[in-house]
Structure 1
C-alpha cells in the first residue's frame, strides 16, 4: 500500500495563503480516493510530494534522494507571481527564479496547477515530465447558502449591491484597482477578505488598508467555512489580479455560484470563458462596465453562475485525488 509524504513548510505562515489551502486540498483529495499520506517527514513513506521552496524542502529532497524515494514537486511558486507582492519581492525575484530552477530540477516529476503555470516552468528551461492538475475545490463544502448569505448581510449591516474579493491584499492581486473602482462607485459596497500580513506589505498598501474609501471594508482573514456567506451574498465576485498560477478563490467562487468578473490574463485563457462562466476585463473601466451589466441582468448572472458551477464540478477534489493517485503510481512504477 503506497504512502505519500505531503510536504509543506511554514504551515502557520502559509495556512492563510493559496499554498496552505492547496495542501489541505491535497489531503482531502487523497482521502477521497483512499491514498494513505503523512505530513510528518519523520514517518516512513514511498513517495514525496513537495509544495514549498524553503530550506526544509531542500532537506527533504536530500533525504529522499539518499533513500531512493521519488520526488514530486508542485510548482505553486513562480517568478512571475512572486513579483509585486511582498516588500522587496521585486528585488528578490531574480534570485528566486534561480532557486526555483534548482529546486524544481531536483524532482522526478512536476505538477503545475494550470496549463499556463506549466508553460512558465517549461520556459525556465526545465525538461522534467510535468502535468497540469488543478488545485481543485470541495463542491460539497463550497455550495451556495442562502442562510449563510443572509446572516452575513444582517450581521454586518450591509447595504446591497455587494462586490466581494478574496486574497492576500497584494498590489499584484489588484487591491489598488479594487479601491479605485470603489472610489468611483459610492452606490456599491465593497468587501475584500484576506489576511493583512502588515509586516510583509509595502507602505503604500499598508496606508490603503488603514484608510480605504469609505465604502470598502477589509475584515482580514476569515476561515474557509465562513467565507461561503460572502460568496453566496455577493452580487459580483471581482478578482482583478494581474498574475496567478490558478487562483483557488476563483474555484471557490465558481462552486458557490457567485457571478465572476476577472482580469483578462493568460492563466484563464483555457478554462474561464468570457460571457460563459465569467466576464473578463482589461482595466477598471471594463470592470465597472461588467459590474453594471451583472447588476442590471438577472439572466446574465444566472447563466454565469450555472456555467461556473459546472466548471467547479469538473475540478472537484474527488477527480483531483484520482489524478494525483495516477501520477504517484506512474512515478513509483518508473522508479522501480
Structure 2
C-alpha cells in the first residue's frame, strides 16, 4: 500500500492549518513506515487531498480514472469561512456549494472533530464521514527553558514581563478585534499576534484596528514552527478568541507546550475542553478581561498538566494508527 500526499497549490496554504495538517500526515506515515510520495507520477493506491482548489478536483477525477481511492480531508465549512476574508460573508453560500462539490469527489471524508462532522452531515454529502484529529507532534512541542530564553531574548523581554500570545490569520472570525481591544485595555501586559494574511484579503476594519497606536501590541508576522514553539514556551498565556473552528491546530500546539490557555466558549469546545479542568473559558470581552489577570497572577489553578495529557491523546502516533483503519475501510 502506497499513499500519495497531494500537494497541488501547497504554497497557497503552507502558512495555514491545512499546511500543518499535511505535514502531520507525512509524519504519521513516516512513523508507521507506510510508503508515501508527493509525486503523482509514481504508483500509489490512495491519495490524500486536503485542499479545495480546481487542481484538487482534477486530481480526484484522475485518481478515480486510475482505480485509486480518494481520502478527502474536510478542513473547511461554510460556517468557518464566514467573517474571514473580504467578501466572505457574501459568497459563503457559494462557498458551501463548492466545497460540497469537492467533498463529494472523495471515497471517504475525514474531518478533524465530531463537531465538524455534524456540520458536514447537514450538507447531505454522499461519502461516509469520519472524524479524526489533525493531530499534534508532541515530541516537537516539548516545553524547554532554552526555547523560553530564545523568545525572550529575540523580543527584548525581561523575565518579569507578562506576555500573551495568539496565532492565526488576520480574520474577524479568529477574534483579532477582541485581542486588539484587550491589549488596549490591559497595557501592563505584552500582546503578540503571530500570523500573516495578504493585505489584499484583509477587511478594512481589521486593517484600521491593527494600525492603532498601542505600544504593548505587536504583530511579528508569520514565523516558522521552531519560532512559534519558542513563543509558546516563552509566553505566559495563550489567548484563543476564535469564534468558529473545525479544530484549531494551534490550540493543540499550545496544549502540548504546557502553556495556560484561555479560549472563547464556543460549541466546538463544549465537550472536548472543560472549563476549569484543561482550560479557562470566557464568552465576551469582559470575561476575558477578568480571567487574564487572575491567570497571569496565579490566582487560579494551573491546568497545564491536564491540558498536556489531553493533547497526548491526539499525538500523531495515535492518529496514524486510526488512519490505517480508514485505509482498510
Deviates more, 1:162-171 or 1:198-207: 198-207
Deviates more, 1:84-93 or 1:117-126: 84-93
Contact in 1 for aligned 2:180/2:210 (Cα 8 Å): no
Aligned twin of 1:73 = 72
1:272 aligns with 2:273: yes
Contact in 2 for aligned 1:145/1:228 (Cα 8 Å): no
Deviates more, 1:3-12 or 1:280-289: 3-12
Q: Secondary structure at the match of 1:285?
A: helix
1:62, distance to aligned residue in structure 2 (A):
1.1
What is the CA–CA distance in structure 1 between the aligned matches of 2:51 and 2:163, rounded to whole Å? 35
Contact in 2 for aligned 1:86/1:202 (Cα 8 Å): yes
What is the CA–CA distance in structure 2 between the aligned matches of 1:120 and 1:49, rounded to whole Å? 21
1:215, distance to aligned residue in structure 2 (A):
0.9
Aligned twin of 2:98 = 99
Q: For residues 254-293 of structure 1, what are the structure 2 equivalents within 5 Å?
A: 254-293=255-294
What is the CA–CA distance in structure 1 between the aligned matches of 2:8 and 2:178, rounded to whole Å? 32
Q: For residues 54-133 of structure 1, what are the structure 2 equivalents within 5 Å?
A: 54-133=53-132
1:298, distance to aligned residue in structure 2 (A):
6.4
- Deviation readout 1:175-208 (Å, 9 max, x if unpaired): 0000011111111110000014212111222233
Q: For residues 143-154 of structure 1, what are the structure 2 equivalents within 5 Å?
A: 143-154=142-153
Contact in 2 for aligned 1:179/1:212 (Cα 8 Å): no
1:212, distance to aligned residue in structure 2 (A):
5.1
Deviates more, 1:37-46 or 1:169-178: 37-46
Aligned twin of 1:195 = 196
Contact in 2 for aligned 1:35/1:325 (Cα 8 Å): no
Aligned twin of 1:333 = none
- Deviation readout 1:55-106 (Å, 9 max, x if unpaired): 1111011112212211111100111111111111112211110111112122
Residues 263 and 175 (structure 1), Cα distance of their counterparts in 2 relative to 1, 3 Å cut? same
Q: Secondary structure at the match of 2:325?
A: helix
What is the CA–CA distance in structure 2 between the aligned matches of 1:256 and 1:197, rounded to whole Å? 28
What is the CA–CA distance in structure 2 between the aligned matches of 1:181 and 1:329, rounded to whole Å? 49
Q: Secondary structure at the match of 2:193?
A: strand
What is the CA–CA distance in structure 2 between the aligned matches of 1:163 and 1:207, rounded to whole Å? 21
Residues 212 and 231 (structure 1), Cα distance of their counterparts in 2 relative to 1, 3 Å cut? farther
TM-score w.r.t. structure 1 length?
0.94
Contact in 2 for aligned 1:50/1:71 (Cα 8 Å): yes
1:209, distance to aligned residue in structure 2 (A):
2.8
What is the CA–CA distance in structure 2 between the aligned matches of 1:163 and 1:262, rounded to whole Å? 12
1:30 aligns with 2:47: no
TM-score w.r.t. structure 2 length?
0.96
1:299, distance to aligned residue in structure 2 (A):
6.2
Aligned twin of 2:246 = 245
Contact in 1 for aligned 2:57/2:105 (Cα 8 Å): no
Aligned twin of 2:319 = 320
Tell me, which stretches of 5 or more residues in structure 2 are unaligned? none
Alignment RMSD: 1.3
Deviates more, 1:8-17 or 1:243-252: 8-17
What is the CA–CA distance in structure 2 between the aligned matches of 1:282 and 1:260, rounded to whole Å? 14
Higher helix share: 1
